[in-house]
Structure 1
Amino acid sequence: MFLRSVISKLASSAEQAMVKVVQTPRFLHTNALVGGSKGLLRPAGLLRPLGTVKSVHDTKAKGDDELVSFLTEEIATEKKNQRAGPLPSNLDGFEIQLDQSELTFTKKFNQEKVVINFNVNHTVDADYADEQQLDKGGQQAEKDAEMRSRPNFEIEITKGNKILSFSCSYLQDAGAAAADPQQDEYPEDAFVIDEISIYEGEWNEQTYAVAGDILDGYLYDLFMNMLEERGITNEFAEKMSDFATDYEHKLYTNLLGQLQGFLTSK
């Protein structure tokens, strides 16, 4: 009896202690998602009012603000240097078609169709032809080199079902050589023929092509004369480079504007 009485008292004391624990909880239970886990127990003093919780998406990156600020200044500067007015739709008899970075120049010559294709992506480089000029004392004075677009271009002359194709590229120092009075009396070409091929239908990997630099010199000159008769002269090539430069600059300025819009959009 004594042992049972002792056990009964101990059980009663334990029950009272449990009641005290239940009556004075240290943690609150919530069915809301707290810290990413449902039903997580957290000290009552650490719970925040919902109105003070900020999402990480509400915080704007400092780097984005700096980039937007720079783009604002850069766009203003580029627009000042941009060619005034719209670009021409015709250049020396060639109709011009624009498709983003792709450009196509087309004209008719007798029974032939002459097409020039090129892409202005990755074509801008410094114009070393104008990098130096004579100062008042006759000495070479350096100045900032102008950025110009000199794209590789394809010329296709179509007659019937045959296509004569020329792959061409600009000479980077052609302008400098032409401006140098110590050069030969014949100015250097503005561009060179890199490759020649002839085929029917669509060009493919099996089409034979010959490199321009292994052609007989006289034959090469005859090909250049052939292109010149169809309006593709050194002067035209420089005008085409001017057009490509202006058009690429417009695309670049537009890209900056799109970047700014992307960063400021919500």
Structure 2
Amino acid sequence: MKVISSLRGLSRVGLLSSATRTQSARVTPIVRMLSISPKSLNVVPELKDALSREIVAEKELSQHNLGGNVTPAFKGFQVTQKEAEVRLTKTHGSEQILVVFNVNHSVDVSEDFEDVESADAAPVPIALPPFSIEITKGDQRLCFHMELVESADSEQPGEYDYRVEEFYIAPAVKGGNEDVPAEVYASSGRYIDTQLHDLLFLRYLEERGFDAEFCKTLVQFATHYEHEQYVNLLTKIQNFISK
């Protein structure tokens, strides 16, 4: 048994144009500090103004860097969305295929970034959500839990691999209950025979549409969708405090 890391190389994800970047307040983590603004009896007007400015800035960022309202499309999949969760479904022969990912906490901007004053240097957050693949046939489903990770072998930043974190066979979903029984055995995807890795994690999944193009679309879609959800959250807060 050879110990290997189950990584699949992807080409650079063409999400951003370095020539046109819009500054966003989300480019760096915020450390909570005591307010030094003048005290007032009602903070709502000031908060509403701040939210309005941030919503405008985020929408400008979307137009300049994320393609505006144009959402990347998954070829061959039906897409359904509910809040932060996205589901992709398709049929492959007698198999029913389901992909699920959630964009909550999928964006991480490096704390080492210092040049936030430069709009050209300001990074646009990229979403790298973990995702699951379930292939159901008969009364069983073959499941993979996946992570998107930055390529360790690439000389250029912004190139990503996927890694199989876990895989197992579970009973098919019945009556809408998607939970996997606790007694189901699951194996780590990080340690697997080389031949099995190539046949199961690469060729088997490629035959079902999980190739480099799919992963590129996933990163683009998740980045666009996460940003859309963030703007929606700001708008909901603005509406809430305005009641």
Q: Please indicate, yes or no, whether the TM-score normalized by the shorter chain is above 0.5.
A: yes
Contact 2:136 2:172 in 1 (8 A): no
**Structure 2 residue identity aligned to 1:85:** N
Q: Distance in 1 between matches of 2:87 and 2:155?
A: 30
Equivalent of 2:83, from 79, 100, 124? 100
Q: Per-residue CA shift, 1:41-93, capped at 9, x if unaligned?
A: xxxxxxxxxxxxxxxxxxx84432221111010011111122423536x5111
**Structure 2 residue identity aligned to 1:153:** F
Q: Per-residue CA shift, 1:87-122, capped at 9, x if unaligned?
A: 36x511111110111110111112211110011111
| Structure 1 residue matching 2:167: 3-state secondary structure | strand
| Structure 2 residue matching 1:143: 3-state secondary structure | coil
Provide the residue aligned with 1:165 in structure 2.
143
Q: Per-residue CA shift, 1:186-221, capped at 9, x if unaligned?
A: xx8620100010022342111100000121122122
State the 1:259 CA deviation.
0.8
Greater C-alpha radius of gyration: 1
| Structure 1 residue matching 2:129: 3-state secondary structure | coil
Provide the residue aligned with 1:199 in structure 2.
170
Provide the residue aligned with 1:65 in structure 2.
45
Q: Which has the higher contact order (CA 8 A, sep 6+)?
A: 2
- TM-score relative to the length of structure 2: 0.69
Contact 1:154 1:168 in 2 (8 A): yes
Pair 1:190-2:161 in alignment? yes
Q: CA RMSD in A?
A: 2.5
Contact 2:140 2:172 in 1 (8 A): yes
Provide the residue aligned with 1:84 in structure 2.
68
Equivalent of 2:194, from 211, 214, 217? 217
- TM-score relative to the length of structure 1: 0.63
| Structure 2 residue matching 1:221: 3-state secondary structure | helix
Which one has a larger percent helix, Structure 1 or Structure 2? 1
Pair 1:233-2:211 in alignment? yes
**Structure 2 residue identity aligned to 1:210:** S
**Structure 2 residue identity aligned to 1:148:** I
**Structure 1 residue identity aligned to 2:168:** S
State the 1:127 CA deviation.
8.3
**Structure 1 residue identity aligned to 2:165:** D
**Structure 1 residue identity aligned to 2:162:** F
**Structure 2 residue identity aligned to 1:102:** E
Q: Distance in 2 between matches of 1:200 and 1:231?
A: 23
| Structure 1 residue matching 2:182: 3-state secondary structure | coil
Q: How many residues align?
A: 185
**Structure 1 residue identity aligned to 2:213:** E
- CA gap of 1:61–1:240, structure 2 versus 1, over 3 A, is farther
Which one has a larger percent strand, Structure 1 or Structure 2? 1
Contact 2:138 2:172 in 1 (8 A): no
